[in-house]
Structure 1
Amino acid sequence: MPAALLAELGRTEGGRAALGLLVRDQHARRLVRLRAVLDAAAAAPAAVCPPAALDRLRADWALLEDAERADRDAVRAVLLHPLTGPWAQRCLYGLTATGPAGAPAVPELAADLAHFGAIAAAAAVRAGLTATCHLTAHGDLLALPTLGALRTYPGARVEASLADGVLTLRQGSATPPVVVRTVRRNPADDAGAAARSAGPAAATASDDPRWLPLGALPALLPGAAPVLLDDLDPYRTAGSGLERHGLGAVTRLDPGSRAAWAASWAGTEPVLRIGGEHRTAEAALLLRCLVPLAPPPGRGPAGESASHCSGTRREAFGAVLSSRPSTPAYFAATLVHELQHTKLSALAALVRLHDAGPAEAYFAPWRTDPRPFDGLLQGAYSHLALADYWQRYALAARSTTQRDLAWAEHARCAEQVGAVLPVLTEADTLTPEGRVVVGEMAATHDRLAQDPPPTGHAARARAYVATARTLWRQRHHTDARPRTAPGGVRGTAPGEGRS
C-alpha cells in the first residue's frame, strides 16, 4: 500500500487508485477462497463430504470452468457477488470443523455444498452456455445468485436446461416447467471491465409467477454497475448473528416495497454528492448489492423515522444490509457510514494496522457495551466520515430545518470521535501503517473543527457524550478510558450508531 494512498484512506477518502487496490485484493481473496472450498471438500472425510457430494462439486466446478472460458467477466460477476462470500466461508467452516464421531459440525453442510450448483448455473446462464445441470433448492427457494429464484418447496430437485438465452427449470413430469428468458447486454456497451465484472450483465423475465427476478437499482455514476437489491439469496444473513446486533430481520420485497426502495434510491445520489465527489465515487466502486432488512421494531407500522438499522459483513465485501432509510439524506449517510467499514476492513486485510487483542475494554460513545480496540477504531473511522458528510450537508443546506438536522448529526459524530481519538493515538499496539491511518484521522478531525457547529448543537453533543460516559462507568464499574491498549456484522442499531 503506497504511503500516499494509505494517507488518503486514513482521511476516510480514497481515490480510484486506492479503492481499486482494495477491490483487487478482495477479489483475489474471494477466488482463492472459492478454490479452497473444492480443495477442502476433497480432503474432508467421507462422513463430512460423501463421495457423491464431492463428485457433484467437481461437476459443478467443471461447468464453472466452461462458463469462464466462454465469458470470464460474466462468471466473475457471480463469483464476486458479495453474498457468495458468506456461502464460501460457511462451507469452509463446515468442511474443516470437527463434529462428534467425525460427523459434520454443521448440519446444513449438505445443503450448503449443493448451493454451489446454483452458483455454477448462474455463471453458465450469464455466459450464454448450452448445458444441463441438476440443482437442489435451499429452503423454499432455488436461488441463482445475481439472477433470481424459483419459488418451490424445501429440498426440491430441479433440472436446469440452458439454451439460446432461455433457462428451463423442471421439477418432475407432473409439474409444468418454468421458462425464464435472459437478456444479456453486449459487454462492448459497458464503460469498462470493472463494471462488467461487478454488476448485472443479464436480466431475467418469466410469465410464470414461480420465478422471482432479482431487482437492481440504477448505477450511481455513468459507467458504474447497477446495485442489486438482493432479497432472495439464502446466505444474505446466514451466520451473521443479525439479532445480536439489533438489526431487523431480512425481508422479501413485494412490488410496493420495491417501488419504495427505488424512489428512495433515486434521491440519494444528489444528496450523497453534497458530501463530496469522493463519496459518490466510493459508493459507485464499492457497493455491489443492498440487502433489505425489515424496519427496526418499535418504530411505527411503516418504520418511517430517522432511525433505521444497517450493517456490513467482512466476508460479504461490497454488500450493505439496511432497512429503508426514511429520507435521501439518511440513505446517503447510511452508505457513507457502512462503506467506511467496508474500506477499513479491506485495508486491514491488506496491511496490519494494529496488534491489539480481542479484549473488550474500551468506551465508545455510540455503544453501551465495552468494545475491543479494533471495534473502537472501526467505529471512530466510520463516525469521522459521518461528521464530514453532515458538516458538508449543513454548509450547503438551504432550509433552516435541514441545516439544524445536519449540524446536530455532525456535532454528535464529531464529539464522539473526539472522545476516543486520544485512546487511538496513544495506543502502543499500532503498527507504522496504523499510526499513519490514525494520524490522518486526527488531522481530519482537526480540519472539521475549523467550521464548528452552532453553539447550541455543540453543547448538546458534549452533554450527550458526557452522559454516555457516565452511564458507561456506572454500568461497567470502570474508567471509560483505559490507559493502554490490551496486548461478523458491524451494525447500526435503531436510534444509535453501532460499530
Structure 2
Amino acid sequence: MLPAVPNRALAELGRTAGGPGTLALLVRDQDTRRLLMLRAVLDAAEAAGPAVCPGAARDRLRDDWALLTAADRATGGGAHSPARARLTHPLMGPWATRCLTGLSPRDGRPTPHGRGELLRDLAHFSAVAAVAAARAGLSFTTSLTAREGVLTLPSLGALHTAERADVRVEVRCADGRLTLRQPGAPPVTVHLEQGTGAWSATPAWTPAYALPGLVPGAGPLPLDDLDPYRVPPRETGQYALSGPAAPDDAERKRWLQTWSGTAAVLRTGGEQRLTEALTLLRCLVPLELPPGADGRGSCSATRREAFGALLSSAPATPVAFAATLVHELQHTKLAALSEMTELHRAGPEARYFAPWRPDPRPYDGLLQGAYSHLALADFFQRRALADPARGESAWAAHARYHAQVGAALPALVGSPDLTPVGRRFVDGMAAVHERLAERPAPRGYTARAQAYIKAVRTLWTQRQPPAPPLTNR
C-alpha cells in the first residue's frame, strides 16, 4: 500500500515548490525504499540457486553486510553514518537494479555471460562495505576485485592495477590509511580525507573529486566520474545521452567556475530553487558534450533508480547550470512523488503532442516534461522581474516555457486517467500557469513564443501517420 501524501505537501509540489518539510518527506521515503531494495538483493541472493548465485558469493554478501553493520554501530548509527551514506548514495540504486535483474533470470538459468556480470556486480558491494568501514575508522583486512584493471572505492577513488583484467586486491585499513596490494606490483598507500576523496603518491591512484558546497556550510558535492554504475547502458536515437566524461584538471576548473556562481543565480529565481538543490542533489555525473555541440549545447538527465543524482555535460554558464538544476530536480521530485502515490493510470502509448520534442509522448512523459517546464517558466519570470535591466534573455526563456506548458496542459487536465490525487496535482499546475500569466512577458516575446508553438505543432501534425480508413462491417 502506498503511503499517504499530506495535502500540504501535494499542494506545494503541484505548484512546483516544496518547503523543507515536503522535501524531507521525499528524501526519507526514497532512503527507506533504497534500504528495502538492498535488503531485497540480499534476500534474492539467499533464495537463488547455486547455478545463479554460488555459495561463496552468498557468504561474501553476508560478510559485507556484517562489516556495514559494524561500521554503522561504530559511528552511532543514524541517517548520517558512513554506512547509511554509502547505502543511500544515488548510484547504489542502479547497482541494486542490476543485481536484482541478474538474480532473477527470466528462464531461471543465467547465461555464462550473465552469471559473470552478476558476480562482478555483487563483488562491488564488498568495495562499498570496505569504504563504509574505513570512513567509520575501523581496522580490517579484506580482499576486493578490480574490474578489468580498475578497483573503484566509492567516494575515495580508483586504483588502476598493473593488469587490465579482473584482479584480486588485498586491502588493509588502519590508522586512516588503506594499503592496497596486488600481484606483481608494489603496495599502494591511500590516505583518507574528510568528505570526498583520498590521496596517494602513486599515479596508479585516481582520487574522487567533489565540488565545494553550493553555499557556505553545505557539504561538498561529488563530481563522480569513477563509479561503474554512473550512467545507464548506451541507447541509440536522437535523445540518447552522450557518454560519461572523465574531466581533466582544466575541465574540472571549468566545472568549478560555473558551479561557483550557480547559487546566486538560483536565488534570483526564488529561494525555493536553492533549497531544492541543497536538499535533493547528492552527486553530479559528468557527461560528454553532445555530438556537434558548439560550446552552447548540453545534455542532462535524471534516473528514477538513482534518486539524488544529476547527469549533465558541463554547463557553459552559471545561468545554464541553475536552469539545468531547476529542470532536472523537478523530474526528481515528481518521480519520488509518483512512487508515493498514484497520479494517473494512463498507459505507455506515445500519442501526445509535446512542443519541446518532435516525437509523440506517453502521458507520463508529457506530465514530466510539462512539470519541469512550468518550474522553468516560474524561475525565469522571477529572474526577469528581479533585474529588469537585464531581463531580455530571461523574458524570452519565460515566454517560451510558459507557452510550451500552455500547449500541453489541456491534454493533462482533460485526461480521464487521472486519479483524485493526480487531479489535484495537475489542477495545481494549471493554477501556477494562470498565475504566471498575470505578469506576462513583454508582448514581442509572447508573440514569438506563440508563433513557435504554432509552427512546431504544425510540423508535428504533418509527421504523424495517417489514421486508418473506416470500413463498414
TM-score norm. by structure 2 comes to: 0.93
- 1:126-181 per-position Cα deviation (integer Å, ceiling 9, x unaligned): 11110011111123421111221112233121111111110111112x31111111
Task: Pick the aligned partner of 1:255 from 249, 253, 256.
Answer: 249
Cα pair 1:91 1:113 within 8 Å, conserved: yes
What does 1:269-308 align with in structure 2 at a 5 Å threshold? Answer: 269-300=263-294, 304-305=295-296, 307-308=297-298
Task: Pick the aligned partner of 1:18 from 17, 22, 27.
Answer: 22
Task: Pick the aligned partner of 1:406 from 391, 394, 401.
Answer: 394
Aligned to 1:141: 150
1:234 and 2:228 are equivalent in the alignment: yes
Task: Pick the aligned partner of 1:205 from 191, 199, 202.
Answer: 199
Deviation for aligned residue 1:315: 0.4
Aligned to 1:455: 443
Aligned to 2:187: 177
- Aligned mates of 2:280, 2:110 — CA distance in 1: 41
Deviation for aligned residue 1:396: 2.3
Aligned to 2:139: 130
In structure 2, do the counterparts of structure 1 residues 240 and 399 end up closer, same or farther at CA, with 3 Å as the change threshold? farther
- Aligned mates of 1:269, 1:241 — CA distance in 2: 33
In structure 2, do the counterparts of structure 1 residues 419 and 398 end up closer, same or farther at CA, with 3 Å as the change threshold? closer
Aligned to 1:56: 60
Deviation for aligned residue 1:397: 3.0
Deviation for aligned residue 1:478: 6.0
- The size of the alignment, in residue pairs, is 456
Deviation for aligned residue 1:103: 3.6
Aligned to 1:495: none
Cα pair 1:220 1:284 within 8 Å, conserved: yes
In structure 2, do the counterparts of structure 1 residues 140 and 452 end up closer, same or farther at CA, with 3 Å as the change threshold? farther
1:436 and 2:446 are equivalent in the alignment: no
What does 1:283-432 align with in structure 2 at a 5 Å threshold? Answer: 283-300=277-294, 304-305=295-296, 307-397=297-387, 399-400=389-390, 403-432=391-420
Deviation for aligned residue 1:102: 4.7
Deviation for aligned residue 1:393: 1.4
- Aligned mates of 1:30, 1:351 — CA distance in 2: 17
- Aligned mates of 1:155, 1:242 — CA distance in 2: 29
Higher relative contact order (CA 8 A, sep 6+): 1
Task: Pick the aligned partner of 1:108 from 117, 120, 123.
Answer: 117
Cα pair 2:52 2:109 within 8 Å, conserved: no
Q: Calculate the aligned-residue CA RMSD, in Å.
A: 1.7
- 1:2-45 per-position Cα deviation (integer Å, ceiling 9, x unaligned): 10111001000000100000000000000011111111111112
- Aligned mates of 1:332, 1:405 — CA distance in 2: 14
Identity fraction in percent: 57
- Aligned mates of 1:240, 1:29 — CA distance in 2: 26
Extract unaligned runs of 5+ from structure 1.
185-199, 480-499
Deviation for aligned residue 1:84: 0.9
- Aligned mates of 1:61, 1:410 — CA distance in 2: 49
Question: Residue 364 of structure 1: SS of its match in structure 2?
Answer: coil
Aligned to 2:84: 76
- 1:288-326 per-position Cα deviation (integer Å, ceiling 9, x unaligned): 0000001111113xxx21x21000000000000000111
Cα pair 2:413 2:423 within 8 Å, conserved: yes
Deviation for aligned residue 1:239: 3.5
- Aligned mates of 1:239, 1:41 — CA distance in 2: 24
Task: Pick the aligned partner of 1:158 from 151, 165, 169.
Answer: 169
- The residue type paired with residue 67 of structure 2 is L
- The residue type paired with residue 166 of structure 1 is R
- The residue type paired with residue 146 of structure 2 is A
- The residue type paired with residue 179 of structure 1 is T
Cα pair 1:97 1:104 within 8 Å, conserved: no
Question: Residue 258 of structure 1: SS of its match in structure 2?
Answer: helix
Cα pair 1:81 1:145 within 8 Å, conserved: no
Deviation for aligned residue 1:418: 0.3
Cα pair 1:383 1:414 within 8 Å, conserved: yes
- The residue type paired with residue 346 of structure 1 is A
Question: Residue 189 of structure 2: SS of its match in structure 1?
Answer: strand
Aligned to 2:471: none
Aligned to 1:94: 102
1:472 and 2:460 are equivalent in the alignment: yes
In structure 2, do the counterparts of structure 1 residues 370 and 166 end up closer, same or farther at CA, with 3 Å as the change threshold? same
Question: Residue 313 of structure 1: SS of its match in structure 2?
Answer: coil
Extract unaligned runs of 5+ from structure 2.
468-473
Deviation for aligned residue 1:449: 0.6
Cα pair 1:242 1:249 within 8 Å, conserved: no
